[in-house]
Amino acid sequence: MDKMIINDAIEFVRNTFQDDYSGHDYFHTLRVYKLAMRIAEQENADLLTVQLAALLHDVDDIKLSPETYANKDKATGFLRKYDIPETMIKMICNIIGEVSFRGTDSATPETIEGKCVQDADRLDAMGAIGIARAFAYGGNHNRIIHDPEIQPAVNMNADQYRSHVSTTINHFYEKLFQLKDRMNTDTAARIAEQREDYMKIFVSEFLEEWDGIR
């Protein structure tokens, strides 16, 4: 039964994000799913809860589906087809609600399952994949790549972060370089350290090329 639900959830996500080009596509969800399972196995979390929350974590995201965000309509609708207990549905929806980065208003998940999913989602915003996703999102939202006269804004709250208009390079300072120290689990922290190092090398190289030094 669990295997059938997971397979159906994967297909549900594939159909939901088939036309997404912002970096929040089907493959992003699959990577988060795989990372979350990897972390959950090390952290002794409940695997089914982690799997379902990871697979459904973006279907009601406020950036992608603002009309379903408040009540998590897509996630709850999917889960109720399989007679998932309401207590488990509530837990999964709580995890989904805690995942997103919101600047200084970012939530720390209450459960180890939530921590695994949040860590996995944040890890996918880092490293080589994170760099690619940052520029994909920037292009999809008409952001300029870099402007030396626009300084990064730090310590933004949720409303400021959501409405802030910035550059893709500034996004590294406004979010991505903050993620390593926000990991909830030791497993994720070890992965994040290597991914942050890679991003810092990239940004340093980018800025030197931008200035004509290299």
pLDDT tens for 184-198 read 999 999 999 999 999
Backbone angles phi, psi at 31, to 5 degrees: -65, -45
Contact 177, 196 (CB under 8 A): yes
Per-domain residue ranges of the chain? 2-210
pLDDT at 33 over 70: yes
The pLDDT tens digits for 155-212 are 899 888 888 889 999 999 999 999 999 999 999 999 999 999 999 999 999 999 999 8
DSSP result, 82-109:
TT--HHHHHHHHHHHHHHS--GGGPPPP
Question: In terms of CATH architecture, what is 2-210?
Answer: Orthogonal Bundle (1.10)
Task: Specify the pLDDT at position 170.
Answer: 97
Task: Specify the pLDDT at position 1.
Answer: 60
Quote the mean pLDDT of the chain.
94
The pLDDT tens digits for 96-153 are 999 999 888 899 999 999 999 999 999 999 999 999 999 999 999 999 999 999 999 9
Say which residues have a Cβ less than 8 Å from residue 130's Cβ, sequence separation at least 6: 124, 176, 195, 199
The pLDDT tens digits for 64-83 are 888 988 889 999 999 999 98
- Threshold 0.85, pTM exceeds: yes
Q: Residue 22 has what DSSP assignment?
A: S
